[in-house]
Amino acid sequence: MITPHIIAMSETIREPRRAMNLQMGTVQTATELHLTGGLRAPMQGDKLWSLGPVLDGRTVRQLSPRPIQHVAGIAAGIGGTLFGGDEMTGMETPLLSRVWTPLDGPGSGKPQPADKWGAIAGNAADAGAADYAELAGHIAFSLKAAGIRLRDASDHHHDQLMAALAEGKVSGNRFTNIPVSDMQLAFHSVLSELASARDYLAKTLAMGLGAPPRIDALARLKDWLDAASRAHLRASPIVSDMLTAYDPASLDPWMHELTEYRNLFLHRQPLGRRGAGWLRYEERSHDGLTIPVVTMPLADDDLFAPGADALLRFVGLYRKMTDLLDRGADAAPHPSTFPHIVAD
């Protein structure tokens, strides 16, 4: 039974980029959360969010505004996750501006790891450490780029979900179409950028350990640290965490898995040629609600997560990389804070 806190989905929410009845000088803005499955939650009021789409019979609706914790709980209840928020301005113009805040979403007040590394780059440059500043800037760029490409994959999921609803697909339907390739390419970019951030971080760690310049990637850092004479260097906290995550025999070998996905899809078999070649439309139930989603399943013989939703899987790897880089920023030899500017 559909509870009374559901209200009809307006065209403004379903088409957040459409601006009507504009006046000169008016700036159209919108803020919405992104959830796996193609779900969205536009901001309504003061930090309240309306999750949609949901189904009332076969009618597409949205939930009445709720706090972000409630929206995240619904996502978790159907096996998904909230993984970012988009602030859009200039909707009344042909050139839309989007500011993406990964994971916690806009308004969290937390400094983002990409921003921390950007600050480290500036502070290292001010200190005369040009090589470190360059690497820190690369980390900031790659981490931010990976987050934006996840947002792009989410855009494609949302478009596919709304199309599936418009076409009246039945829960359990598998399908594919030409735009699916755009989603696959977004995932290629996510894996590529995360692998770049991995190696840039490894290089900064190698510099701190006194490694020669040729140690410029994680695999080379591991080989260099395998020497008995350098075994004690592995105890450095971030180094230890990174090597443990890279070890396929560890309890959570997520760095190894990220590396294998990147090598598989970018060097051996593009995404779609081996799993993740089609989408699935499903209607999931939670707390009296029927919530439609679109997923892109990985191959049934995937080495690490057979049949798992690609977006959920790669958001998970992105989250782990973000956490590592956040701790790495706090342990960096240069401050991760921006300078304060005081006006007289």
Q: Give me the mean pLDDT over the 111-117 stretch.
A: 92
**Residue type present at position 332:** A
290 strand-pairing partners: 55, 285
Has residue 179 got a pLDDT over 90? yes
Binning pLDDT at 50, 70 and 90, where does residue 340 land?
low
Has residue 28 got a pLDDT over 80? no
What H or E segment, with its residue span, contains residue 175? strand 174-175
Greater model confidence, 252 or 91 = 252
pLDDT confidence of residue 126:
96
* 136 close to 332: Cβ distance less than 8 angstroms: yes
* 336 close to 110: Cβ distance less than 8 angstroms: no
Rounded CA gap, 244 and 263, in Å?
Answer: 19
pLDDT confidence of residue 275:
62
3-state helix, strand, coil in the chain (%, to 5): 45, 15, 35
Binning pLDDT at 50, 70 and 90, where does residue 184 land?
very high
pLDDT confidence of residue 225:
96
240-275 pLDDT per residue, tens: 999 999 999 999 999 999 999 999 888 888 877 766
Q: Kindly report the pTM of this predicted structure.
A: 0.89
Binning pLDDT at 50, 70 and 90, where does residue 17 land?
very low
Mean residue pLDDT of the chain comes to 88
60-86 pLDDT per residue, tens: 999 999 999 999 999 999 999 999 999
* 8 close to 81: Cβ distance less than 8 angstroms: no
